[in-house]
Amino acid sequence: MKYKLLRELLPTALALLPFSGAFAQSIELVNPILSGFYPDPSIVKVGADYYLVNSTFSYYPGIPVMHSRDLKNWKQVGNVISRPSQMSFLGDRMTRGLFAPAIEYHNGTYYVTCTQIDHKGNFVVTAKNPAGPWSDPTFLPQVRGIDPSLYFEGDKAYVIYNSDPPDNKPLYDGHRSIKIIELNPQTLQTVGEAKIVVNGGVDLSKKPVWIEGPHLMKLGNWHYLYAAEGGTSVNHTEVVFRSKEPLGPFVPYEKNPILSQRELPKDRKDPITSAGHAQFVEGPDGKTYAIFLAVRPYEDNFYNTGRETFIVPVEWKDEWPVMVPGPNGVQYSYKANFPEVKQPGARPQSGNFGYTLTFEKQLDPALLFLRTVDSASFSLSKAKGLTLKLKPETCAETGNPSFIGKRQQHLYCTAETELTFAPKAANEKAGLAIFQDEKHFYYLCKSVDAGKSMLQLFKSTADVKQPELLAQAPLKSATGSVQLRIQAQADKYSFQFSENGKAWTTLKDQVDGKFLSTQVAGGFIGCTFGMYATSSGQPTTNTASFKWLKYEGNDPMYKK
């Protein structure tokens, strides 16, 4: 993201031109711009194109690359980690893996920096086309911490990142620093020693915690370093510092934080909370916008949709960037004066929407595997759709089960599929899961009990081999297809099935949804609806086929 003085002058110059209808177009930016589990956003503008990346933790493929020309309509064009040879997350909990990517562009090359937590740490990958293929990772052992981002100035590059406090001696829990180290953009090797440019946060005497997600940009004569503070939950905020030099010294804005939702009334309707981890970008209108993460809880701090990607306008006040969410905090929509640019073939990502995925030729790039991909474990066809081989691995463990998931993107939504599966024993199960992590999921599946074909609902437990059976009902056909439906209603889920596609039977409703929330499960991820088939630790040659996956969201805040 490089601002030019010309861009500062452009709005003034345009104001002097005779009025033209070409400038009278408007757009409604609906929040979140990426609904569901799309945390830790980072964005770059290259010409008229915007590219945005998000964290995926231990899901595979890692780090989706979204493209837009209007900051509203987004189409996934690829994934940064798209080959098992680049990286896999086998053995990792789902909430580990890849933390907080950042995307940048310089001299014809795209760069993504990220952290592989618990393993080799920070790395950089490159590509000539943001759709990929991306290079194998080059790890940066001298960059000790998390949340690395790049800043280019002239022929020099810098890595800015969250790191240890001075002398690795924290004064209090959550005491961190922001460091900068030079990077050779040709060899991707660090140069010299890292320098601390922010100690603790805005005011060390107030014991600020978790200064993280830093970015550095230059506008006019100032270098702006901005970062999240307060942790990624309800105390999340965004703060800004500036300096005349890229290495500081940096002075904090006296009116920090520049974004916070934590002071707003807790009983407000349809709250948006935990806002932070922002990045600035120039809009098509030449104005500045911020994209950032926030959440939509259905009660207190309970949410199942994970941290999502939002947008707000930014105003420049006394040469400081200040986000202007509105009098009651971040809004569900903003009007802007530039034209909407639709994305051919793109899935909708904001507001209420629905669509059906079919599996004739290829998987939608937004679909997710657990930890890596086993291409031999599934096949696609027009006749059967998605066929999964039953694998011994289960999603209660840390391997790679036969599981392909789609994000839950609404508080109120429905996922349906048509399953064809003939189980041969009680250990063979196939169906639809609503999955938060290894220890927090429900599984609506077809199986066998006492030799009879059954539709069953399981809840995960602390014992990976003993899920709790919540309900079951006999099926008329042992070999015929059955339609499965999971309905989310904020803190409640219902589980239904149909053997004729017309009459639906509720197996169990009013099932506890808070069990699937980040508040209960911990970690940093959101729920996914997973097509899932397992032989529960036993070998088998059986398969299960999913004809389609239908999804529909119906959140009340979008109903006019």
- Using the 8-state DSSP alphabet, how is residue 200 labeled? S
Number of H helices, E strands in the chain: 2, 39
Secondary structure class of 166 (helix, strand, coil) = helix
Active-site choice (70, 147, 212, 285): 212
Report the candidate in 216, 325, 208 with the shortest Cα–Cα distance to residue 273.
325
Our answer to whether residue 40 is catalytic in this structure is: yes
Contacts of 350 (CB under 8 A, 6+ apart): 30, 31, 32, 33, 34, 35, 72
d(Cα 251, Cα 228) in Å, to the nearest integer? 16
Would you say 86 and 397 are in contact if contact means Cβ atoms under 8 Å apart? no
Alpha carbons 438 and 396: distance in angstroms, whole number:
4
Q: Of 335, 192, 191, 203, which is closest to residue 256 (Cα–Cα)? A: 203
What CA–CA distance (Å, rounded) separates 225 from 216?
5
In contact, 176 and 164? CB cutoff 8 Å: yes
Q: Can you say whether residue 201 is alpha, beta or left, with left for phi > 0 and alpha for psi between -120 and 50 degrees?
A: left
Alpha-carbon distance of 392 to 308, in angstroms, equals 33
Residue 6 is inside which H or E element, if any?
A: helix 5-15
Backbone angles phi, psi at 527, to 5 degrees: -80, 150
Q: Any residues with CB less than 8 A from the CB of 5 and at least 6 apart, and which?
A: 220
Distance (Å, rounded) from C-alpha 97 to C-alpha 297?
25
- Tokens standing for residue 216: 């550095």
What kind and span of H or E run contains 164? none
Which residue(s) pair with 110 in the sheet? 105, 127
Report in angstroms the alpha-carbon separations of 187 from 124, 125, 139, 142: 11, 12, 12, 14
Residue positions annotated with a catalytic role: 40, 212
